[in-house]
Amino acid sequence: MKYTPKFAVITTALAASLAFTACTSAAATKDSPEEAPKVLTGIAERLVEEGYPGAIITRTSPDGTAETATAGTADLATDAPVPADGEVRIGSASKTFTAVVALQLVEEGLLELDRSVETYLPGIIKGKGIDPKAITVRQLLQHTSGLPEYTTELIVNEAFADRDIYRSPRDVLDLALGQPAIFPAGERHQYTNTNYIALGLIIERITQRPLAEQIHDRIVTPLDLKHTYLPEPGETGLRGEHPLGYHIDTDGELRDLTEADPSWAGAAGAMVSTPAELNTFMKAVLEGELLEPAELDQMLTGISTGDEEHFPGATYGLGIESRELSGGTAWGHDGDIPGYQTRNAVAEDGTAVTLTLTALPFAIYDGPQDEIFEGPTEELIALYNLSTDALEEALSTP
């Protein structure tokens, strides 16, 4: 998931540098990506040299052929190789799945984008400065609702202490709504995970079925995805082969945080997938396999994110974001969650790339802690930019 503010949850950074070995995948089928060309391997190796425990980069061509590279280790204790297309937590890339389900309900006439949240969740969305009749479903999808961010109240706490805590969507929503609105509905874009917790509840209220089931039946099954799912309540591990995800503890140590209850992330960021399957999903979205043209057009109607300094030309649609790369406009959705960092994009020619690192940037940051809390340092910003730059390089080079 993304954090608001991103740097408010930083504790102590890792001071020791780590050295790892690189490897590439072997299988050569559409479901199991081919061995990567040297350029992808080189990108993965450079990211590991920066201090990330492991890296996976999968590039899928317009015809669906996937190739992948890995570097580093899946387990710092054993130095096991990173699995070529292992399962990872995809954080906020989950939002695109939630958005697709919502837009399919729009197609079916069960949900209206410009109706208020009060219509679908009467009496639930309320709080200081929050007008549920003024907040629309579209504003939830596009992060223009003004709803407060719940993660600032939750994950600022020590992640390892919270790893076994189950939080229902209503618990998370109540945590958010204990804070005032950040602005009147519709005033501007500001990324807020709370929007997608509310959307998950709306989907379950309309369908009268669990969100995990809706994602499975509407997306996973039609696309024949084998390793993509929203964890069941109480599920703390990953089901398939996977690299471990690492996070920084309060003592400044990098520790395994793979086994953790992701319920707090819910519809906003709790999903698991593989880089190859995430490429398959994103390509299917943009190629119109999951949505009718009218709903896909709504999804891709983006508004400025307002961050021209760091992301010039970037827009946010309905659960999907665009970025301007050297080869043109690419669509996808980033995802950060303790243990894993995912970046993905689909270029104009249909080439898709997903890159996953097994730690967040601030977990490997080695700058002074007091400087971090004063604001993002240039070094930390550079760590965040590394993955975005690597994504563009993987998309644009043969």
**pLDDT in the model for residue 383:** 85
Angle (CA) 130 263 366, round 5°: 95
For 315, the token pair is 């827009």
Both tokens assigned to 147 = 């709803």
Which active-site residues does the annotation give? 92
Per-residue CA distances from 190 to 12, 104, 181, 315, 379 (Å):
27, 25, 12, 12, 24
Domains in the chain: boundaries? 22-396
Q: What pLDDT, on the 0 to 100 scale, is given for residue 7?
A: 29
84-129 confidence digits (pLDDT tens): 999 999 999 999 999 999 999 999 999 999 999 999 999 999 999 9
pLDDT band of residue 367 (cuts 50, 70, 90) is low
Nearest residue to 169 via CA among 141, 138, 203, 137: 203
pLDDT tens for each residue of 139-182? 999 999 999 999 876 654 578 888 999 999 999 999 999 999 99
| More reliable by pLDDT, 159 or 188 | 188
The superfamily (CATH) of domain 22-396 is DD-peptidase/beta-lactamase superfamily (3.40.710.10)
pTM of this prediction?
0.90
For 380-397, letters b (16+ CB in 10 Å) and e give: beebbebbbebbbbbbbe
Find all residues with CB under 8 Å of 89, minimum gap 6, and list them. 238, 245, 262, 270, 271, 272, 335, 337, 339, 340
